[in-house]
Amino acid sequence: MAEEDVDWSHLGAGEYANYFLVEHDFVAFYLDCGQLGDSEQKTTTKVYSRIITTPVGARRLLDTLSKALAVYKRRFGEIRDENGIIVSGDTEENLE
């Protein structure tokens, strides 16, 4: 889809997310997004948004994220967690 074919007028302010939960049934995938709580500050994880999509839409999302992560890695190097440990890129074949 060409970028000029996208209507951005309904885009909200957006929320930072570092918590994701994915569930699915036969017809849809459900992606919940939010912020992890802090156990030291005794805050709870908060879910802000739910995306519901078809299996085809989920595949498109996976492909889009995979391509974006590859570009990121080429530009900035390995992706590391807060402890400096490289976060592996498990493929769907490795998860089955």
Contact 65, 33 (CB under 8 A): no
Give 1's contacts (C-beta < 8 A, 6+ positions apart). none
What pLDDT score was predicted for residue 3? 64
CA–CA distance, 39 with 22 (Å, rounded to integer) = 23
pLDDT tops 70 at residue 20: yes
pLDDT tops 90 at residue 35: yes
Q: 2 or 88: which carries more pLDDT confidence?
A: 88
What pLDDT score was predicted for residue 63? 97
